[in-house]
Structure 1
Amino acid sequence: MALSREEIARRYGTAIFDFAKDQDKTELMFKELTELKKAVQAEPRFVQVLSNPVINSQEKKDLLTAVEQGFSAELQEVLNFLLSYDRFGNLLDIIDEFTDLYNKVNHIGTGIAKTAVKLDKDQLQRLADSYAKKYGLQELHLENEVDPEIIGGVVLKVQGRVIDGSVKHRLEKIRAVLTK
């Protein structure tokens, strides 16, 4: 039976996280995987080539060897492992799973702050710091999403939790009270 993308990501991401933890290299592995993800997103053909069944395995190994030179021995071992098990097509999902595990262990959150106007870096950081402190996170990384329909305020979406402090939401609550 074939595994789903999610199951592959979970299994391999967990295995890589456990490997990094056993090697006492979780910080290094996190940094390198983050950089690798950025590079792969900038050049998606890299993954396409390494997961292409038409290209022979020696050509794939040669390409990977050329690319992985700047990485630690541990990450090189992981990348070669993924290549040998033909899992490069799942690389981004595996990196995301590793990142989720890393963030959970280190009490780091990620989320979206939806606002009517774009927030500058300082405003976004103050909002993240305030939320992190209130909910016991070491740090919180927020991305700003602009949605003029919320009129004002902010809608925070962090790890499955939604805090709607938008003017639109407040007006809808007032309207509901008045129409009763």
Structure 2
Amino acid sequence: MNGASREALAAARERLDALTDSTSVDAAALADELAAVTALLDREGGLRRVLTDPAQHAEAKAQLVQRLIGGQVSGPAADLVSGMARARWSQPRDLVDALEELANIADLTAAEKQGNLDEVEDELFRFGRIVSSNTQLRAALTDRAAGAQAKTELLHRLLGGRAKPATERLVVRLVTAPRGRSLEAGLESLSKLAAERRDRLVAIVTSAVPLSDPQKRRLGEALAKLYGRRMHLNLEVDPEVIGGIRVQVGDEVINGSVADRLDEAARRMAS
């Protein structure tokens, strides 16, 4: 997002945080409502353009939102969307993207309140790896000829009782409404949102053998100091990484042995 849209999204996220801080607001239910509004605006291009038209008066757009969804969703959801309609957006799609992001954040907030955010983060990562390694499963989940209901039922069989409710809701929404993204890109975006919720970066760590707890702790601490942010480690084992480790943080890839990388981190911190 650019300029006005970025500012509008930041303001909407602040309002969402204020809403979900209240014990009277069910974050998971709010996520479902925001997802429903996302689907509506994704379908209705004309409505999307009206709500983001800078020539339209902000209050008139907010009132239109209240007339359309006020009786269909809760007061907090309607107020949040109305506030977003008052904002300026660089392009119509940005409003829909922002609503989808808020829905996902609300679900992650629900997991955080239940003390499950770390597990949801890990489950999203593991599910992404399963999909990337299973071509038949990926084909079934991305088949445009398959209906949303069939995909939902498949995911319920795969995840039901094995993953946290928030993980299941997030994955079902992504698979049934990809909105032009690849499944991998969507899962990566969800993982980043989950990490951000903890104000952490995500490091994908691939090692030849499982790391011990002290190694994981030392690596996490070293990376956190290097990047100036708390770090969440997603761990993978690949025997082809002979005698070493591969760490990816965003677009940056670090290769080398555990000891070498930690020693280098220590030297950089000392300087």
Indicate the residue corresponding to 2:16 in structure 1. none
Q: Partner of 1:17 in structure 2?
A: 105
Instruction: Report the counterpart of residue 108 of structure 1 in structure 2.
Output: 201
Match among 69, 74, 84 for residue 166 of structure 2: 74
Tell me the equivalent position of 1:28. Answer: 119
Report if aligned partners of 2:142, 2:183 keep a CA contact under 8 Å in 1: no
Are the structure 2 counterparts of residues 160 and 17 from structure 1 closer, same or farther at C-alpha, using a change threshold of 3 Å? same
Q: 1:96 to 1:26 in 2, by over 3 A?
A: same
Deviation at 1:157, TM superposition (A): 7.4
Alpha-carbon shift at residue 68 of structure 1 (Å): 2.3
Cross-structure match for 1:138: 230
CA contact (8 A) 1:103 1:109 kept: yes
* CA deviation map 1:104-139 (0-9, x unaligned): 3433352789xxxx9x95797545533423543333
User: TM-score under structure 1 normalisation?
Assistant: 0.53
Preserved contact between residue 50 and residue 83 of structure 1 (Cα < 8 Å): yes
Is 94-103 or 120-129 further displaced after alignment?
120-129
Q: In structure 2, what is the Cα distance between the partners aligned to 1:162 and 1:81?
A: 30
5+ unaligned residues in a row in structure 2: which ranges?
Answer: 1-41, 43-95, 242-246, 255-271
2:98, 2:138 → 1: CA distance? 19
Q: TM-score by structure 2 length?
A: 0.39
- Tell me the distance in 2 between the aligned counterparts of 1:100 and 1:136: 17
Q: Which stretches of structure 1, 4 residues or longer, exceed 4 Å deviation after superposition?
A: 8-14, 86-89, 120-128, 140-143, 156-163
Structure-2 separation of matches of 1:68 and 1:111: 23
User: What is the CA-CA distance between 1:88 and the residue it aligns to?
Assistant: 9.4
CA shift at 1:159, angstroms? 5.0
State how far apart, in whole Å, the 2-side matches of 1:130 and 1:74 are: 31
Q: Distance in 2 between matches of 1:10 and 1:92?
A: 19
Match of 1:98 in 2: 190
Q: Which has more strand, going by share of residues? A: 1
Give the aligned CA root-mean-square deviation in angstroms: 4.6
Alignment-mate amino acid for residue 80 of structure 1: V
Query: What is the rounded CA distance, in whole Å, between the counterparts of 1:139 and 1:48 in structure 2?
Result: 33
Count of residue pairs brought into register by the alignment? 149
Q: Comparing both chains, which one has the higher relative contact order based on Cα–Cα distances under 8 Å and sequence gaps of 6 or more?
A: 1
Instruction: Note the 1:1-180 alignment, pairs <5 A.
Output: 12=100, 15-23=103-111, 24=113, 25-70=116-161, 71-86=163-178, 90-106=182-198, 107-110=200-203, 121=211, 126=218, 129-139=221-231, 141=233, 158-159=249-250
Q: Give the CA deviation at 1:21.
A: 0.8
AA partner of residue 102 (structure 1): A
Structure 1 residues 60 and 17, CA, compared in 2 at 3 Å: closer, same or farther?
Answer: same
Assess if the C-alpha contact under 8 Å between 2:175 and 2:183 holds in 1: no
Question: 1: distance between equivalents of 2:167 and 2:136?
Answer: 20
Deviations 1:135-165 (A, max 9, x none): 433336499x98xxxxxxxxx97556799xx
| Cα distance change on mapping 1:129 and 1:47 into 2, 3 Å | same
